[in-house]
């Protein structure tokens, strides 16, 4: 359910908030690049309305 970019940025492929964790966005980018689907990153999606139940 990752909705936003890195919470604190990334460095060398690791999360700056928790350097033990791989950066989720870098993993997403690398996978899309591997399967030739970087175009999916161009798709803009509406924000979720968390107030709707």
Q: What number of other Cβ atoms are within 10 A of residue 6's Cβ? A: 15
Per-residue b or e along 21-34, where b marks 16 or more CB atoms closer than 10 Å to that residue's CB: eebeeeeeeeeeee
- The residue among 13, 8, 31, 32 whose CA lies nearest residue 23 is 13
- The pLDDT value recorded for residue 25 is 86
**Each residue's pLDDT tens digit, 1-53:** 556 655 678 889 998 888 899 988 899 999 999 999 999 999 888 877 777 66
């Amino acid at each position: 359910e990752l909705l936003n970019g890195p919470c604190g940025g990334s460095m060398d492929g690791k999360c700056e908030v928790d350097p033990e964790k791989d950066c989720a966005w870098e993993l997403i980018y690398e996978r899309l690049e591997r399967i030739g689907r970087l175009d999916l990153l161009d798709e803009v999606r509406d924000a979720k309305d968390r107030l709707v139940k």
